[in-house]
Amino acid sequence: MAPQPTKSEASSGEVGASESTRSRAELIRLLNEDLAREYQAIIAYVVYSQVLKGAQYMSIAQELETHAAEELQHALIISKQIDYLGGVPAVVPLPVRTSEDPEQMLRFDLENEVDTVRNYRARVRQCEALSEYAVAEHIREILVQEQEHLIDLATALGETPPTIT
């Protein structure tokens, strides 16, 4: 963890320093949420890629297998950034929703990717506000792949990719 401000710092009016310590702690907390989301994505893609049945879904099932491997790389990159910032990487994934219905499965994935893209966009801005440009750069690279995942899923569902606000 980043060092906490000492009592004398806190009372000497060095608001900037303690403010920045707080923001870094908040960034670590948010990156751990991102990591929990990556674990969720790994599990979802491992399972969905194998249980999707039906001739029309074979090509997307193959694609989901590729996504699973990419999500693992993302989890490793995010853990590394958390460790670099002085935090401890989380170990619990967000819950994974399942369905017997292939279309529903793809929709769950699409919803999760939308959520992921929205969060990483915010994370880039937060990293840059703290001058953590290298962390921001890693997240931008992940973001490129997350947007591709989103497009793959929307295409498989025969939809245009949703606008993310």
Q: Is 146 in the site for Fe ion (CB under 5 A)?
A: yes
CB of 142 to Fe ion, least distance (A): 6
Question: Cα(161)–Cα(157) distance, rounded to whole angstroms?
Answer: 10
Whose Cβ is closer to Fe ion: residue 20's or residue 145's?
Answer: 145
Candidate segments 7-15, 19-27, 71-79, 81-89, binder of Fe ion by CB under 5 A: 71-79
Q: Is 71 in the site for Fe ion (CB under 5 A)?
A: yes
Candidate segments 21-29, 55-63, 84-92, 147-155, binder of Fe ion by CB under 5 A: 147-155
For binding to Fe ion (CB under 5 A), which residues are involved?
Answer: 38, 71, 74, 146, 149
